[in-house]
Chain A
């Protein structure tokens, strides 16, 4: 395996594109030049730190440190999923249900991959565990945040329709059936689209990365296919868990719609 190592000079040349964009933004008075530069600086700092952390983690190859890193990733994913929701539950519920769903889905899928298909030695080898969990979590997070957002804002918008069914003697499952379906579909569509477009419209990032790193395209493709399946599995599991979690929190034991459990806008 051989690849062209980049030095800091190469990165500086690429950064000039950000300067060009920022210049354009100023010329066109878009007012986002500052934000773009801050985002670029954040990206550089964050990724550099991650690079250093990963280097240390790989060197240590400790199950405890690996688990710690994975936990941090889950907590950040939970925060991000919550931030993307327009309407949130009061208290810790919004954060909790997103995080718990992603933790279960991400952990199950990653363990499944590590224990059967990839089988590194040791099985928790951070070089495999962390990137796989990262990819599964990133995508599950998208699905979960879309699903939760649809579910919660949908319950607000469709309050009278949901309650109309309750008034006629429907239980909460029947009353919220349409909403649950819509939320699940919406959360799964990006993943399905991702699979359909893979290779034709977009060359997936991981595969591209492996090819750049000198891996045979056929082998890189195999990895990518595996990851796509894992992502779909993780998204589906996390999405279903979070949507049903939200459904239960939006209702109570007497099958009432409990919008009072949401934070006021």
Chain B
């Protein structure tokens, strides 16, 4: 369960669209929250703050234990953020995975051939990279995943495979925060819905 209470991000040298104001919500175990909003509304800023990649004020708790009670690396492993454009630190795709066997199993279930692991990252398509980044995150067994547009570059079939994977993740009692511009995907995947506007998060009821 991820609990956020009065989360804010405001320092003097930040530009306006990086601010977060008084954000509060709870995502129960096994549940997912969908966040939509225009570009620049602060969705990425929120995910980065939740992953503790940027400093913030307010309370963030995982299983009722505050963020700062975890070491930062442990926190990020538990609350794992997968950005829209994931970063890569090695030349070949396979060098980003300690447990290559498990990674390949996940890859098959996401419609990726094993051959992608042998390729240089910069020769993979955006969709392949996004799925590899998702696998990389899943292998760390996080309790919460913060996903920023994980299927933006995928065709409908691959999107469905990713959604299946995410449902399995939720079924294990984990939580999901999913930023998506795909309204249908939101309906399929979401238990609760939020809209981000100028750094504020508003709860919405779908269809209204």
Contact = CB atoms under 8 A, between A and B. Distances in A.
Interface stretch (A42-50, A162-170, A226-234, A238-246): A162-170
A166 B76 contact: yes
Contacts of B76: 166-169
B72 A164 contact: no
B55 A256 contact: yes
Contacts of B55: 252, 254, 256
A167 B89 contact: no
Nearest to A260: B13
B32 to A, nearest CB: 19
B129 to A, nearest CB: 11
A256 B53 contact: yes
Nearest to B96: A164
Interface in B112-129: none
A255 interface: yes
B89 A169 contact: no
A167 B53 contact: yes
B7 interface: no
Interface in A184-233: none
Contacts of A164: 86-89, 133
Contact of B73 (A159, A160, A163, A169): A169
Interface in B81-96: 81-83, 85-89
Interface residues of B, number: 25
B73 A171 contact: yes
Contact of B82 (A160, A167, A169, A178): A167
B73 A255 contact: yes
B77 A168 contact: yes
Contact of A161 (B72, B82, B87, B137): B87
Contacts of A171: 72-73
Contacts of B6: none
Among B53, B76, B88, chain A packs the most CB atoms within 10 A around the CB of: B76
B54 A256 contact: yes
Nearest to B13: A260
Contacts of B88: 160-161, 164
B18 to A, nearest CB: 11
Contacts of B80: 167-169
A170 B54 contact: no
A11 to B, nearest CB: 53
Among A158, A161, A163, A257, chain B packs the most CB atoms within 10 A around the CB of: A163
Nearest to A169: B77
Contacts of B13: 260
Interface of A: 158-171, 178, 252-257, 260
9 contacts: A159-B87, A160-B86, A165-B89, A166-B73, A168-B76, A169-B80, A254-B55, A255-B72, A257-B53
Given A163-B87, A167-B82, 9 more contacts: A158-B89, A160-B87, A167-B80, A167-B137, A169-B73, A169-B77, A171-B73, A178-B89, A254-B55
Nearest 7 A/B pairs, CB to CB: A169-B77, A160-B87, A164-B87, A161-B89, A255-B72, A254-B72, A161-B87
